[in-house]
Structure 1
Amino acid sequence: MTKPVPTLTLNDGHTIPQLGFGVFKVDPDETTRIVRDALDVGYRHIDTAAIYGNEAGVGTALAESGIARDELFITTKLWNDRQGTETAFAAFDESLDKLGLDYVDLYLIHWPTPAKDTYVESWKALEKIRESGRARSIGVSNFLVPHLQRLLQETDIVPAVNQIELHPAHQQLDVTALARENGVQIEAWGPLGQGKYPLFETQVIVAAAEQHGKTPAQVVIRWHLQTGNIVFPKSNRRERMIENFDVLDFELTPTEVTMISALERAGRVGGHPNDIN
Structure 2
Amino acid sequence: MAATICTKKFLLNSGFYMPAVGLGTWQGQVGSTAATEMRDTIVYALKQGYRHIDTAAVYGVEEIVGDAIRMSGVPRSEIFLVTKLHSTHHHKVEQAFKASLARLGLDYIDLYLMHWPQSLTEDGKHTDTPTPAETWLAMEALKKKYPDQVRSLGVSNFSQKTMDELLKVATIIPASNQIEVHPMLPQHELIKYLQEKGINVTCYSPLGQYNSPILKHPSILALAEKHGVAAGQVILAWEVAKDLAVIPKSTNLKRIVENITYPTLDTEDIRVLDQFYKGPGLHRRLCQINGGTPTGHDIVMGWTYEQLGWEPYTIE
- Using the size of structure 2 for normalisation, the TM-score is 0.82
Displacement after TM superposition at 1:144 (Å): 1.2
Cα deviations by residue, 1:12-61 (Å, 9 ceiling, x for unpaired): 22110001100000733222112112112211100000000000000001
The 8 Å contact of residues 6 and 21 in structure 2, kept in 1 or not, is answered as: no
Partner of 2:7: 5
Partner of 2:300: 275
Q: CA RMSD in A?
A: 1.9
Q: Paired residue for 1:266, among 262, 267, 283?
A: 283
Amino acid at match of 1:276: M
Partner of 1:101: 106
Amino acid at match of 2:26: F
Amino acid at match of 2:217: T
Separation in 2 of the partners of 1:30 and 1:40? 16
Partner of 2:220: 205
Displacement after TM superposition at 1:230 (Å): 0.2
Q: Which moved more, 1:135-144 or 1:261-270?
A: 261-270
Q: Secondary structure at the match of 1:164?
A: strand
Percent sequence identity over matched residues? 36
The 8 Å contact of residues 6 and 261 in structure 2, kept in 1 or not, is answered as: no
Separation in 1 of the partners of 2:195 and 2:283? 19
Q: Secondary structure at the match of 2:264?
A: coil
Question: Structure 2: which 5+ runs fail to align?
Answer: 120-125, 292-297, 303-316
Separation in 2 of the partners of 1:47 and 1:147? 23
Partner of 1:34: 41
Q: Secondary structure at the match of 1:263?
A: helix
Separation in 2 of the partners of 1:205 and 1:267? 17
Displacement after TM superposition at 1:173 (Å): 2.5
Residue 116 in 1 paired to residue 150 in 2?
A: no
Question: Structure 1: which 5+ runs fail to align?
Answer: none
Separation in 2 of the partners of 1:49 and 1:69? 18
Q: Which moved more, 1:94-103 or 1:189-198?
A: 189-198
Amino acid at match of 2:275: A
How do residues 1-277 of structure 1 correspond to structure 2 at under 5 angstroms?
A: 3=5, 5-25=7-27, 27-84=34-91, 87-113=92-118, 116-117=127-128, 118-131=131-144, 132-133=146-147, 134-195=149-210, 197-247=212-262, 250-264=263-277, 265-270=282-287, 271=290, 275-277=300-302
Q: Which moved more, 1:267-276 or 1:203-212?
A: 267-276
The 8 Å contact of residues 107 and 138 in structure 1, kept in 2 or not, is answered as: yes
Separation in 1 of the partners of 2:108 and 2:99? 12
Amino acid at match of 1:53: G
Separation in 2 of the partners of 1:2 and 1:219? 12
Distance 1:63-1:195 versus aligned 2 partners, 3 A rule: closer
Number of residue equivalences: 273
- Using the size of structure 1 for normalisation, the TM-score is 0.93
Separation in 1 of the partners of 2:80 and 2:89? 24
